[in-house]
Amino acid sequence: MDLRKFLYKGDDLGVTFKEDGTTKIKVWAPNIKNILLNLYSKHDSQRLIFSKNMTKLEDDVWSIILKERETGYLNLDKFFYDFKVKHMDGTEKYALDPYAKSMASFVPNEDINNIGRGAIVSLDSEEAGIKPRSIGMSNLGSSTDMVAYEIHIRDFTIGIDIKDAGTFKAFYEYDEGIEHLKKLGITHVQFLPIQNYFTVDEGNKGYNELGSSYNWGYDPHNYFTPEGWLAADEENPYGRIKELRNLVNKLHENGIGVIMDVVYNHTYNWDIFENLTPGSYYRMFGESISGGTGAGPTLESRNPMVRKLIIDSLKFFIDEYGIDGFRFDLMGFMDIDTMIEIRKAVGDNIILQGEAWNFTDLPINEAPVKGHIANYPHNIDLAVFNDSTRDSYLGKIHEKGFIQGNYDFPITDVCRAGIIGNIIDYYNKSVSIDLYHRFAYSPNETLQYLSIHDGFTLWDKINLSYDGTMIERARLVKFSLGMLFTSQGKVILQGGTEIGLTKPLGAIHQPKDPEADRAHTSEFINFDDDIGNITHYHENSYSSSDFVNQIRWTRKDNSLFKGINNYCGGLIKLRRCANAFRYSTSENIKKGLKFILVDDFNAYRVIAYTLDNTIEYNYGAGIERIPYNKFLVVHNASFETLNLKDNEFLAKMEVLVDSEKAGIIPIKDTDIVVKDGSLKITANTTVVLGIRG
């Protein structure tokens, strides 16, 4: 069978309920001899109550209709099922339905038949809760108006005293947390994976100090079922459905959209699809399955039925859960044509963004990777995580960046590339021309960030790389946020950054942490009062303890972190109230953003530019344009106060951002002094000046 040419176009894979009350189950499975459907009790997913061979139809689709006279049950709602598949070589394997819409509670173990069981559910049932409606980008003025907030469902509430902490339910019941997000001003939350993953005991939800039952979720098990470990009620197959719907509805009610982190590049192990149909779902090199991701077998997105699975899954979460966007993990392993087809399938209103590292097992001309601009699928509003900005502003891994005083060539020039959203056709001698840093045809292809779930948090990065007091470190955090939110493109913030998110690994945690060697220390660290005498900070906490990963909400009461929170919120408000900080097209960036001081003695440590705020008028619901026709932004990365001179500095300019405050209200009590032709700017500071229209 040529899998590249095969496509079943029906929309009835998985479970459907027929009008006569019977239940139909269909599955695509070529290259096998037979499938036996096993039905299990709704009261005990281990108790087999009925088995029957499925019928092979055209196009290698197998089907069965379950009738009362055969099963003995009028209604199969909440019953569980799996497949027993006979392969061509005579071996028999248990298999999970790839289109299962919910599952039995799962516990990973060494049993070779432990592959998980699907649940027979109706998404239209009252038990499934109220179906959300996707808002997509409709709360934005343009796609570059997005300010996303990445968060793991569990981390959001596991550290507080709330019932069902760490679950969808606790998230939407934590009103103080929702209010925090709303007040901060973010437009969307981006959840780490919430599709069912393999390596957690779904019933083990207690607070875990030393680690063992925690995972970020990059170990996919099923692409249609919400993860039961994140649900307060994992036993009832409707529990996870209703709780996720409630959470999306709650966020939408507060004007916040929802983006899902999705992992279609690999699955946890090859049994998940090979047990069902050998050689049909995974990328093959000869007789071997590719393990190029390093995280599991690679899905072959170029096979039409795999591409269909991906697109059906995405559309399912839009239609049934009101999801507004998707972040694609290791997107370089998904082919370009699949990404184009995804955009066609989901429409123009859904946010799409992904990891586009130059890391793939595809031919480079088929892989959507950053820096290969001739091959990248431009003009479909697909943003890439921009490590050029992260690494130049803040420093790569253990290195220092512009913010910590590293001005080695070409760091400052790469920073300027980030300022312009990394568009390819902006011409200025002070901006890097390296195609890896100038990869975007449009600013909506650039997702700007300083930290994300993998890597050091912003606070830890500065703690490890800068020798200074807590107050001085907080100043650098504000400076880095000032650079981030005045850069063109889209923006994503790691959840908790605004209150000093940290990932400390204590000595008692190290023996049980699976990646203890990825926690680092340095001669510069200060000890934070609320975490004790801890010297190591994690940059790969995918299976660490709750102590490492949780958001420490009590930090909001610390004046230092409260100041960062207010500063971050002020920057977000300024960005959203002024189109100039987020132009929607490359043409407008070229027209509206002009660098100054590029020939100044301080040009290696100062980045300055003007912004025309009259070019666009794109504002989200409830957001009004502030009355400034022009802005001047200056980033002083030196460790001294500077007196800069340029004709663009005017005495009538108002200070909106300095080293202490940020927002849309002019700052009166400030150390920034602006006169006609000169600016006095403090050390390690982003300054934004505005001229009223």
Q: What is the DSSP letter of 266?
A: B
The verdict on 543 and 611 lying in the same domain is no
Co-location of 93 and 117 in the same domain:
yes
Q: Among the three residues 100, 128, 156, which one is the final residue of a domain in this structure? A: 128
Q: 3-state SS string over 107-152?
A: CCCCCCCCCCCEECCCCCCHHHCCCCCCCCCCCCCCHHHCEEEEEC
* Residue 5 pLDDT grade (very low, low, confident, very high; cuts 50, 70, 90): low
Residues 6+ apart with CB under 8 A from 79: 39, 40, 41, 42, 49, 73, 119, 120
Structure tokens, 13: 């894979």
CA distance 437 to 443: 13
In a domain, 460, yes or no: yes
pLDDT, tens only, 105-161: 999 987 888 999 999 999 999 999 999 999 999 999 999 999 999 999 999 999 999
Is 135 contained in some domain? no
What's the rounded Cα separation, in Å, for the pair 199 and 229? 10
124 belongs to a structural domain: yes
Buried b or exposed e, range 617-630, using 16+ CB within 10 angstroms: ebbbeebebbebeb
Q: Do 487 and 398 share a domain, yes or no?
A: yes
In a domain, 586, yes or no: no
The CATH number linked to 437 is 3.20.20.80
Q: How far apart are CA 399 and CA 409, in angstroms?
A: 14
CATH number for position 32? 2.60.40.10
For residues 634 and 679, what is the distance between their CA atoms, to the nearest angstrom? 10
* 403 — pLDDT class (breaks 50, 70, 90): very high
| pLDDT beyond 90 at 350 | yes
Is the pLDDT reported for residue 1 higher than 60? Answer: no
pLDDT in tens, 603-653: 999 999 999 999 999 999 999 999 999 999 999 999 999 999 999 999 999
CATH of the domain at 598: 2.60.40.1180
**Terminal Cα distance for the chain, rounded:** 67
Whether 415 and 503 map to the same domain: the answer is: yes
**Residue 429, domain member (yes or no):** yes
Q: Do 604 and 537 lie in a common domain?
A: no
Extract the tokens encoding 681. 């700017």
pLDDT tens digits for range 270-325? 999 999 999 999 999 988 999 999 999 999 999 999 999 999 999 999 999 999 99
Residues 100 and 119 sit within 8 Å (Cβ to Cβ):
yes
| Same domain membership, residue 467 and residue 349 | yes
Same domain for 655 and 547, yes or no, is no
Query: Is residue 343 within 8 Å of 310, Cβ to Cβ?
Result: no
Task: Give 358-381 pLDDT, tens digit per residue.
Answer: 999 999 999 999 999 988 999 999
What are 642-666's pLDDT values in tens digits? 999 999 999 999 999 999 999 999 9
Assigned domain for 281 exists: no
Strands 382-385 and 288-289: unpaired
320 close to 257: Cβ distance less than 8 angstroms: no
What is the structure's pLDDT at 6? 73
Mean pLDDT of the chain: 96
pLDDT at position 408, please? 92
Q: Do 371 and 441 belong together in one domain?
A: yes
Tell me if 577 is assigned to some domain: no
Question: Same structural domain for residues 122 and 158?
Answer: no
> Residue 527 pLDDT > 90, yes or no?
no
Residue 94 has pLDDT above 90, yes or no: yes
Q: pLDDT tens digits, residue range 496-514?
A: 999 999 999 998 889 899 9
pLDDT tens column, 224-268? 999 999 999 999 999 999 999 999 999 999 999 999 999 999 999
Contact assessment for residue 623 and residue 186, using Cβ atoms and an 8 Å cutoff: no
Residue that finishes a domain, picked among 533, 568, 603: 568
Query: From edge to edge, which strands make up the β-sheet containing 654-657?
Result: 593-596, 606-612, 628-636, 685-692, 654-657
Pair 74, 147 in one domain: no
Domain count within the chain: 3
Confidence of residue 21 (pLDDT cuts 50, 70, 90): confident
Are 233 and 88 in the same domain? no
Give the predicted TM-score (pTM) of the model: 0.97
The pLDDT of residue 19 is: 80
Last residue within a domain, chosen from 568, 584, 602: 568
Host domain of residue 27: 14-128
Residues 505, 617, single domain; the answer is: no
**Hey, what long-range contacts does 206-212 have (CB within 8 A, 24 or more apart)?**
207/158, 207/165, 207/166, 207/546, 208/545, 208/546, 209/509, 209/545, 209/546, 209/547, 210/508, 210/509, 210/512, 210/545, 211/509, 211/512, 211/513, 211/514, 211/543, 211/544, 211/545, 211/548, 212/512
Residue 318 forms part of a structural domain: yes
pLDDT on residue 213: 80
